[in-house]
Amino acid sequence: VDQVNRMGCPITGNSAPTLRLALDKSRTKQTLHRAGLLTPRTCNRLHARLHFPLIVKPRREDASIGIDRGSVVRSWPEAKQRLALLNSEAIVEEFIGGREFSVSILGETVLAISEIDFSRLPRACPRIVTYSGKWRPRSAEYRGTRPVCPAQVTPALGRKLHRNALAA
């Protein structure tokens, strides 16, 4: 415990400014970019220079709210339809498939690396963690995603994940 909230109670976790930043995906991406960290190419409106597939998600949500099977789009008409469905500020970025890791930090110490195993997801589901995948135990997405901790990574990849997590 190294923080105290406004009521004088000790707390753990991120500070209020850090949480506020993390809840705005555009500002988070700008901050990471200024720190020299790579993020997928993005825009806040449709832009012809992005390459498909894209992921369209709410700009200011947490816990995968607004993210579902339809979030990954493969054409401009799909992207426009998704933006209309969200009916709020959205962020559009190039979708980068691959492994998904979580790296927790306590102070300056990187804890074990966790990975989401998508191998049990139905073929029709994009390899992303959706709202259902996090919060609806009866859904195919929830049953099809499994956290693995510690993740099986090479020493070189482990060092890179540690370095990037601390830099972030």
Answer whether the bond into residue 150 is a cis peptide, omega within 30°.
yes
| Digit-coded pLDDT (tens) for 31-60 | 999 999 999 988 756 666 889 999 999 999
In this predicted structure, which of 4-8, 60-64, 88-92, 123-127 has the lowest mean pLDDT? 4-8
Higher pLDDT, 47 or 27: 27
Q: Residue 59 carries which DSSP code?
A: T
pTM for the structure as a whole: 0.86
Dihedral angle sign, alpha carbons of residues 88, 93, 95, 101 = negative
pLDDT band at residue 2, thresholds of 50, 70 and 90?
low
| Digit-coded pLDDT (tens) for 83-124 | 999 876 899 999 999 999 999 988 889 998 999 999 999 998
Which amino acid does the sequence have at 17? P
11: tokens are 């707390």
Half-sphere exposure of 23 (CA within 13 A, CB side): 10
Higher pLDDT, 148 or 7: 148
Which amino acid does the sequence have at 21? L
Token pair 């009521």 is at which residue? 7
Q: Residue 124 carries which DSSP code?
A: T
Task: Return the pLDDT at 1.
Answer: 45
Separation CA 50–CA 137 (nearest Å):
34
Task: Return the pLDDT at 12.
Answer: 74
21: which residues sit within 8 A by CB, 6+ positions away?
Answer: 27, 28, 31
Percent of the chain with pLDDT over 90: 67
**Is the confidence at residue 159, as pLDDT, over 90?**
yes
Separation CA 70–CA 35 (nearest Å):
31
127: tokens are 């390899």
